[in-house]
A = this chain, B = another copy of it.
Amino acid sequence: VIEVGAGWTERTLRATREAGLRSGGARRAVVEFLGRQSCCLTAQEIFDGLRADGRRVGIASVYRVLDRLVEMKLVQRVDVGAGIARYEPVLDGEHHHHLVCNDCGRVEAFTDPALEQVIHRVAAGVEYDVGSHEVLLHGACADCR
Interface on A for B, CB 8 Å cutoff? 77, 79-81, 83, 85, 99, 101-102, 108, 110, 112, 114-115, 118-119, 121-123, 126-142, 145
Contact = CB atoms under 8 A, between A and B. Distances in A.
Contact of A81 (B77, B102, B142, B145): B77
* Copies per complex of this chain: 2
18 contacts: A77-B81, A79-B79, A79-B80, A79-B83, A99-B126, A101-B128, A110-B122, A114-B121, A115-B122, A122-B137, A127-B141, A127-B142, A128-B137, A128-B139, A129-B139, A129-B140, A132-B139, A134-B138
B137 A123 contact: yes
Given A81-B77, A83-B83, A83-B85, A130 B139 contact: yes
Contacts of A102: 131
Given A119-B135, A131-B139, 16 more contacts: A79-B80, A79-B83, A99-B128, A110-B126, A112-B118, A114-B118, A127-B142, A128-B142, A129-B139, A130-B139, A133-B135, A133-B136, A133-B137, A134-B135, A134-B138, A136-B136
